[in-house]
Structures are given as C-alpha cells and as structure tokens.
Amino acid sequence: ARHNPGQPEFLQAVAEVVESVWPHLAAHPRLASSGVLERLVEPDRAIMFRVTWVDDRGEVRVNRGFRVQHSNALGPYKGGLRFHPGVDLSVLKFLALEQTFKNALTTLPLGGAKGGSDFDPKGRSPGEVMRFCQAFAIELSRHIGAHVDVPAGDIGVGAREIGYMAGMVRRLSNRADCVFTGKCDATGGSPMRPQSTGYGTVYFAADMLERAGASFDGLRVAVSGAGNVAQYAIEKAMQSGATVVTVSDSSGMVVDEEGFTPEKLATLMDIRNGHGGRVSDYAARVGARYEAGRRPWSVPVDVALPCATENELDADDARALVRNGVRCVAEGANMPVTPAAARVFEAAGVPYAPGKASNAGGVAVSGLEMSQNAMRLAWSADEVDARLRRIMRGIHATCVEHGSRGDGRVSYVDGANIAGFVRVADALLAQGVC
C-alpha cells in the first residue's frame, strides 16, 4: 500500500492473487526465494501522456492517456484500451495485472498490458471520436508494435475506435503490421472477435455447470451490462437453451420474465451500438420492466453473469443471489464481484469463476487474430469458434486441476491464480534476474 498510494483497485487485485498463491509458494521454496512474486506484482512500466484534440466547436481539449505494460515474459504485451471517465492508474494497473494472468491461462504466447484514457465517448459526435482516437494513437504509437505491444478494445473502445487508431498507426509507420486486434473484417479482424468474450464466458459457465451435472438448458440467467460482452453472453446463453431475464447499464436494469429472444437482442444492439441508447429505451421498445438505479442481482436466477464493470456485485447482492438459489456465477467483466461477495459464494458452496479465467475468450481470439495476420490467413467463423471452445475448455480443466479441494469442490479463483502464476513465474525464472 505504501508503494501504491491511492490505488485501491490495484491493491485489491494484488491481494486476491497473493492470497491464492501464498500456500503454493510456501510449498515451493525455489519460487519463494526467487523474488518472483514481488517481480510479478510490479508492472514493467506505466506510461502516461497528454492527448490533445479539437472538439466540434473548435475548442482544444486535453485528456490523459495511459499504457501499463505489465509483463512481456510470455510474449508481446497484450491487453485492451478503455475510454471512460473512471480510468486512472489504479484501474489500469489492476487490469494489466489481471490481463497478465489471464493471457497466461490461454496458453498462447502473450504478455499482459492495459491502457486507455479518461476521455468520455458518451455524447461525442463520430467526428470527435475519430479525432480523439487519432490523437491518442499518435502518442501511443511510440510504445506499441506487432512484436512489442498489441492493444485491443475494452469499455468504450470497439471495432470503430480500433479502426481509427490502427489507421493512424499504419500511416505513421507505413507498415501493415498487426498492431491492434479487434479490427473489423475489412482490415484483417477475426470474424469471431466481437462474440468471443461473451461466448467464452458462457462456454466456461457451461463447463462449470457440467461438472455439477447440469447444463444451461431451461435455466434462468441474469446478465448485467448491455455492451459488447453482455450482448454476446445473452446470445450464447439463449442458444444454449437458457432464459435470460435481465440486462442493465450504469443507470438501471431491465427485467423481462419472458426472457430475451433473437429479435429482442437485435433491438438492444440497434439501440446501443453506435447510437449510444440506454437500456431504458430498450425496455420501452420491447415492453419490459425498467427499474432506475437498480442492479440485476435481486432477481431470482440459476446463473449470474456480471458483464458490466469492476465491483458491480457486492456482498448484499451475493447474499440475495444465494437466497434465491443461484447455482453458478461466472464473470464476463473484469473483477465485477467484490472480495466480500466472493467470500459469500465460497461460504455457500456456489461455484464462482473470476474473469481472468471465464472472460479469457476475448484475448484468446485476439491471439488467434495475431496469428492469422502474421500468416496472412483468414479462418472462418466456425473454425475460430471451435478453437475458442477448445481454449475455454482447457482453461476450465486447468482451473479444476490447480483449484481442487479435498472435499471435491473447486476454487476457480485459486485455480486461475495458481495456474497463471506458475506459467509466468516459470518464464521469468528461465530468463534470469531481469
């Protein structure tokens, strides 16, 4: 805490990792004496820069840009960019640490990073978004490259923003390298990248349910958020036979007892994507109940998939879910479940998967996009989906292997942290003290 003042999210993420790996370190003195844990919780570097751009009224605006390069022990730095007013060094350091473990779990050769800006895209015109992205990319371009650091999207950054940034970096470098993933089809994107995080989360939850002798078929599911991850988690849960009864944004939630249909999901996508609409608009369009200022966790469901943002499901929410008989919780977002809420699930014996395991599908498909671009190959959506399914199954098996308890239960948190730690630690140790 002394070295990282005012960084509560980062300290929270470090504490969660240390709690899991401490017993493992105690059992492996070689690791404990190598300082590898201390090295692993300190980012390689954190870069901050000014982003200057001009709004539609001709006024000069200044935002702050960041790139936290956490570790490249396994491969080029890799992780998303977030544009949101809540972005600061603490949030990005926590996300970069999580990303390092997550990328290790995929078994792909990827290091970990995260970046972004406190720029708020809400209410900005398409021209303003483009000018901001270009200004951000001009500065970021000094620090990234196909074999150095390959950013992707996150909150507030989708294929449109990635396109603008990739275009500027291509012009500056005069090279067509894969410097960003999450590109659109026309510029070498993977056909499954938009779906991958949401689908991957549902694949992981399906494996958790299968281990308990169940499946999504006929279950009720609560999803929070209404963005990229939430939309495709809803789609895959529906395709798996579940009834998805909630969706939300930072203003409130929608409850629809009849559940989503493909038509309703198309309406949600139409309202949200590119138009900046709210879930209240969606509720009005489809005739569902909207509750301002509420989160979905008081609605009785079998499976909870938090897909919005960090710390959006607290201990009271967890108690409500447990009271209502929840059977499985898998994070689509990064760290949406607070540590106190995680303890409630643990005490109640509810299987709970942290995002670094269950939402790793996005970066896994980004890794595949890098491979395809390097080989100048395009794979079909079905081919990428099959690889994604295999990778998620592998991560689930790894978590079970490293997180199994004597009583037959699995701590997915311990499993993910220990497995990720071991992979990065082995690579660090093999490369000496550096």
Q: Contact residues for ligand NDP (CB under 6 A)?
A: 153-156, 197, 225-230, 249-251, 307-309, 312, 332-334, 359, 362
Token duo for residue 394: 């592998």
Q: How far is the CB of 334 from ligand NDP (least distance, A)?
A: 4
Q: How far is the CB of 31 from ligand NDP (least distance, A)?
A: 28
Token duo for residue 233: 């988690």
Comparing CB distances to ligand NDP, the nearer of 356 and 423 is 356
Q: How far is the CB of 409 from ligand NDP (least distance, A)?
A: 26
Comparing CB distances to ligand NDP, the nearer of 53 and 94 is 94
Comparing CB distances to ligand NDP, the nearer of 25 and 385 is 385
Comparing CB distances to ligand NDP, the nearer of 36 and 271 is 271
Alpha carbons 46 and 88: distance in angstroms, whole number = 11
* C-beta separation of 309 from 178 below 8 A: no
Alpha carbons 341 and 173: distance in angstroms, whole number = 47
Cα separations (Å) of 234 from 327, 330, 408? 18, 13, 30
Per-position DSSP letters for 164-221, written without gaps between them: HHHHHHHHHHT------SS--GGGT--TTHHHHHHHHHHHHHHHHHHHTT--STT-EE
Token duo for residue 285: 């369009």
HEC-encoded secondary structure of 130-179: HHHHHHHHHHHCCCCECCCEEEECECCECHHHHHHHHHHHHHHHCCCCCC
* C-beta separation of 79 from 111 below 8 A: no
Q: Which of 419, 369, 377 is nearest to 394 (CA)?
A: 419
Q: Write phi, then psi, for 257 (nearest 5 degrees).
A: -60, -25
What are the residue ranges of helices labelled H in 240-330? Answer: 262-272, 279-286, 315-323
Q: Which single residue brings its beta carbon nearest to ligand NDP? A: 227
Q: Which residues are catalytic, by number? A: 114
Q: How far is the CB of 112 from ligand NDP (least distance, A)?
A: 12
Comparing CB distances to ligand NDP, the nearer of 36 and 101 is 101
Grouping H, G, I as helix, E, B as strand and the rest as coil, residue 224 is strand
Comparing CB distances to ligand NDP, the nearer of 75 and 158 is 158
